[in-house]
Amino acid sequence: MSKNVNVLDEALKTIWDKIRLATHLIIQLREEKHRLVSRADELERLVSSLRSDIQTKDQELKRLRTEHAQVLNSNGQQSFTEEQKEAIKSRIRDLISKINSYL
């Protein structure tokens, strides 16, 4: 009978040790899960922030492309009318003649 009690006692000790190890492992896994969930939330906030930044930069890029196209299109157009060009030429001739008279 005492042999059976010893065997039972050893079996209970073994089960108790396994339960304690399992409990310890469960606690560690819960802590790790909590850390991973926190990290995932942090990364989701970062992704959201980066998407917002990309969207803002994309809008800025579109605006700059539009401005660039407008500048390219305006370079092909005459910036002065013919009357303005003639007036400028006349003023330049007058200035040249005044410079020549001082020289």
Q: What is the pLDDT of residues 75-96, one digit of tens each?
A: 655 566 778 788 888 999 888 8
Q: Give me the domain span that covers residue 9.
A: 2-102
CA distance 20 to 17: 5
Say how far apart CA 43 and CA 37 lie, in whole Å. Answer: 10
Question: Which pair of tokens denotes residue 65?
Answer: 């492309």
Q: What does the pLDDT look like over 67-76, one tens digit per residue? A: 877 777 766 5
- Residue 63 CA to residue 39 CA, distance in Å, equals 36
The average confidence (pLDDT) of the chain is 88
Determine the 3-state secondary structure of 80 from DSSP.
coil
pLDDT, residue 100, reads 81
Q: Is the pLDDT of residue 64 over 60?
A: yes
CA geometry: angle at 89 spanning 86 and 94, to 5°? 125
